[in-house]
A and B are shown apart, each in its own frame.
Chain A
């Protein structure tokens, strides 16, 4: 039973990883670019959500919103502000990364430009948050408390369950967006080949920000869910939590959205089970070890096909 409980916990934790893994895989699949700022977006959203909920913006902000909003609705403002903040940050990244991706001198490390810029943004966002709120982990007053359901002896956290369902629903919606809509078709054509897409009349410069907006929204939702589920946030959760989603992305295969879901859940399960069997300290070894193995043996991930990002960035 204890093992079953761990499996349930793992799948719930996987829900957070799924969202971030989908954000990673979307950017790499569409734009062929490993966006290392994604962990920072996750962190910014969680911190903004925390700040709205627990007075991080100071007295004035609280009294302003306290007078307008009915009690208990503060979290709506928190969610909105977190979504807006992450999306704006993401658009800022777009301005300085994808546009400079074009190879100008035919040089191998030239492709590293967006990668380096995104690492730079990771540093910027992390230190801005540290400047404002310091490095200590903060605890969040959860709007939903520790609501749990008891199903046949298993303890299921309601926020966790909501987050898992929500993340799968969002990815399903994203899948429909990509397959059915005009924007989705344009995005897929860019994924195939940006130059051809341009020739076929796709306004590449206009359509690329869509990827960044979706990335920002996904990260924001993941960050909010993380904050609600674990009720502790800090400036380092990005690099400590969200980077693990990279493993989920690779497991599912780069650029494969449904693969990222499975990969994210596997990573969540692996983390919960490794904690259960071997203790919390060793968690990183099985996850990153598995990632290393997959990269070396079967770099296309568990489901094969695409070879996106191979040989270039």
Chain B
């Protein structure tokens, strides 16, 4: 496998994991614009545990799960105040959370502050790919369980979900915490993949992009974030390659602007995301209710 391809596949794997981290809360109708906060916590905790203590740091097989767990615990503690907010307030609260985390870590001299933090252990594609597949399978399984159905009902209508005896608060807390777990996992893997982390990797634009992966992919089915992350990773690369082959600077430099245009058009023509429940049913040949009537 060429170096370019494996580098791209690694990015794809990482993007898929963080997309699922934001997807889980989004599947219960909560928009989380704070992906960077989780990624920073996971990345720095994982990197610190692995690379500090004068070479006596923990092995990757320990440091990555511990980083994910610690992030999940923080997400759990955070979910109670944050889930008091709704809608646009929640978008702002999670956004503020990510900014606070970035600001604090930027000033922590223990982890290098603004200069960044080098991480020793290297996680290559052989480690990333199985973890990514496990994450996809886990989320896919989770949404097929009773818990997943409950998530879907909370997303569609909270009041009705309450009427059917679902503990809405618990579902939302659980989804947010699981999102934190995956976000921490992403951060730790990212640090070990690139062996270097800095807060600037997870800036405002990162938060925005991740939320867009999920919303463009679609929050109705567990395949949405997969397609969204794939789309966001592959299309800019294709556009870059196209620009290079056509020798067109317009396409090569303007690919992100083109990408923004795609986003806006998507929202006009397919506001529920690329993958929706109806699309899957149509593809699998099952008749939907709409198709019958």
Contacts and interface: CB of A to CB of B under 8 A. Distances in A.
A128 B256 CA distance: 9
B107 A281 contact: yes
A310 B86 contact: yes
Interface residues of B, number: 54
Interface in B191-249: 203-205, 208, 211-212, 215-216, 219
Nearest to B208: A119
A205 interface: no
A239 B89 contact: no
A127 B106 CA distance: 26
Interface string B95-109: 111011011101100
Nearest to A296: B81
A128 B254 contact: yes
Contacts of A121: 260, 264
B208 A123 contact: yes
A248 to B, nearest CB: 12
Given A96-B264, A96-B268, A313-B88, A109 B215 contact: yes
Contacts of B268: 96, 100, 117
Nearest to A240: B204
A130 B259 CA distance: 14
Grouping DSSP codes into helix (H, G, I), strand (E, B) and loop, the B interface class, with mixed when no group exceeds half, is helix
Given A124-B257, A284-B100, A288-B100, A109 B219 contact: yes
Interface in B71-102: 81-82, 84-89, 91-93, 95-97, 99-100, 102
Given A247-B96, A285-B104, A296-B93, A119 B88 contact: no
Contacts of B157: 106, 108
A281 B100 CA distance: 12
A217 B157 CA distance: 39
6 contacts: A110-B271, A116-B211, A246-B95, A291-B96, A296-B93, A309-B89
B267 interface: yes
B281 interface: no
Contact of B100 (A36, A109, A130, A289): A289
A209 to B, nearest CB: 17
B286 to A, nearest CB: 19
B29 interface: yes
A124 B261 contact: yes
B100 A116 contact: no
A106 B267 CA distance: 16
Given A119-B263, A120-B267, A295 B93 contact: yes
Interface string B33-64: 00000000000000000000000000000000
Which 7 residue pairs spanning A and B have beta carbons closest together?
A120-B263, A124-B260, A284-B103, A108-B29, A123-B260, A285-B103, A288-B99
Nearest to B93: A295
B112 to A, nearest CB: 13
A1 interface: no
B108 to A, nearest CB: 11
B272 A107 contact: yes
Interface residues of A, number: 56
B85 A296 contact: yes
B272 A105 contact: yes
A138 interface: no
A243 B256 CA distance: 21
A285 B107 contact: yes
Nearest to B249: A131
B89 A292 contact: no
Nearest to A239: B204
Interface in A146-200: none
B134 interface: no
Given A112-B31, A123-B257, A296-B81, A313 B87 contact: yes
B176 to A, nearest CB: 14
A109 B96 contact: no
Contact of B92 (A107, A114, A289, A295): A295
A96 B156 CA distance: 25
B257 A281 contact: no
Given A123-B208, A292-B96, A309 B263 contact: no
Nearest to B84: A296
Interface in A264-313: 281-285, 287-289, 291-292, 295-296, 299, 309-313
A250 B89 CA distance: 9
B86 A246 contact: no
B114 interface: yes
Nearest to B82: A296
Given A117-B263, A281-B114, A295-B89, A108 B156 contact: yes
B124 interface: no
A311 B103 contact: no
A120 B267 CA distance: 9
Given A243-B204, A296-B85, A123 B256 contact: yes
